Amino acid sequence: MIFSRLVLYSIKSLVYICKQDQGEFSGIKEISENSGISKTYLAKILQKLVTAEILMSVTGPGGGFKFRKDPANIKLIDIIRIFDEEKNLSICILGWSECGHNNPCHFHKNWAEFIGKFKKDLETRSIMKLAQKSWPRM
């Protein structure tokens, strides 16, 4: 897996919130139950997204989370950067710390080409675009 569960759950929870009425707040219990993420872990993720100004939150009855930014303008790479995992896009597929252009492993050229295309996709694909698809099923 290229990204941690933290990044994957962040994207999954953002897609869920995006599929809801944009004027309404989604409660943590609702998001947790519909995404299969524990409330404790989800609370940490959502708080980080609030701090990064992706989401806004309101406490109390009728409170919860909703987008601060337009989900059409939130790219997947933005979420990856919030959790400081962009470095995972440059790791050798075999895990060799010495692998690089000057000392490539057997897969380096093909992997570098794939990751380059993948990163471009992450830079252009938005949370809104994911929410318009049937993935993830919730």
Q: What is the pLDDT along the chain (138 residues), one digit of tens a residue?
A: 578 899 999 999 999 999 998 788 999 999 999 999 999 999 999 999 999 999 999 998 889 999 999 999 999 999 999 987 778 788 888 989 888 889 999 999 999 999 999 999 999 999 999 999 865 555
H or E element in which residue 32 lies: helix 28-35
Which helix (DSSP H) or strand (DSSP E) does residue 122 occupy?
helix 108-124
Query: What is the per-residue pLDDT for 13?
Result: 95
Which region holds residue 15: left if phi is over 0, alpha if psi is between -120 and 50, else beta?
alpha
Contact of 55 with 61, CB cutoff 8 Å: no
pLDDT in the model for residue 134: 61
What class is the 5-132 domain?
A: mainly alpha
| Domain ranges within the chain, ordered by starting residue | 5-132
